[in-house]
Chain A
C-alpha cells in the first residue's frame, strides 16, 4: 500500500526566501508524481507533473525533483511571495490493482501549509 508523507506539516517564511518542501513515498513503482496547490476552501491546482523517468521539472519559480529509487521528491520555490501562501500537496500515481493497468490512483500526502509573510 502506497503511503505518502510530507514534511514539514507547516512552514512560515519571510517574503523573498527560497524554500524546499519535501515529499516521500513508500512504493517506488510509481508512474509519476504531481505537485498541487490548494487555497483555503478551494480545489486543487496542478503545479508540476514529473514522470518517473525524469529527474526534475521547472515552471517559473517552481522546481520539482524526483528520486524514484529513494522514494523522494522536493518542490523548490524561489523568491517566495505572499501570494504563494497555500497548502502544497504531492501525489504519487500508480496502477489500480484491479484495473488491468487501465486506471490509476493518486495517493496524496497530507500537505504542507505554507505561509509567506510580507
Chain B
C-alpha cells in the first residue's frame, strides 16, 4: 500500500536560520508531488509541485525552495527563515488526474 512520510512533525526555528523539510512516498512510482502551506485562518496554499526528478515549479514567489532528488523524495528548504514562514506544511501526492490526492501528517513550523 502507498504511504507518505513527513518529518519532522514539529519544528521551532529562529529567524534567519535554514530549513529543510522532507517528504517521502512509498508504494508508488513517478508520483506528482506537492508542497502546501496552511496558515491560521486561511486555506491551503500550493507552494511547489513536481512531475518528476529535478522538475520543480513554483506557484507563488516566496522565501522557500523545493527539490526532488529522487523519484519519491520531495524536500522543502529555505536559506533564511522569516517570521511569515510560520505555518503548517503539508506534502501530497497523486498518480494521475482521476486519482485521489493523499497527504502527509504535516510539519508545524514556528519561526521565532
Residues of A whose CB lies within 8 Å of any CB of B are 4, 31-32, 34, 36, 41-46, 49, 51, 89, 91, 93, 96, 98-99, 102-106, 108-111
Residues of B whose CB lies within 8 Å of any CB of A are 6, 32, 34, 41-44, 46, 49, 51, 57, 59, 90, 92, 94, 97-106, 108
User: Are A44 and B103 interface neighbours, CB within 8 A?
Assistant: yes
Chain A hits for B57, CB < 8 A: 96, 98-99, 103
Chain B hits for A111, CB < 8 A: 43
> What total count of A-B pairs have CB within 8 Å?
63
User: Are A43 and B100 interface neighbours, CB within 8 A?
Assistant: no
Q: A96-B49, A99-B51, A103-B32 are in contact. Are A46 and B101 (CB under 8 A)?
A: yes
Residue from A46, A91, A93, A103 in contact with B102 in the complex, judged by beta carbons closer than 8 Å:
A46
Q: A99-B51, A106-B46, A108-B44 are in contact. Are A43 and B101 (CB under 8 A)?
A: no
Give A103 to B102 CA distance when docked, in angstroms.
15
User: Are B43 and A109 interface neighbours, CB within 8 A?
Assistant: yes
Chain A hits for B49, CB < 8 A: 96, 103, 105
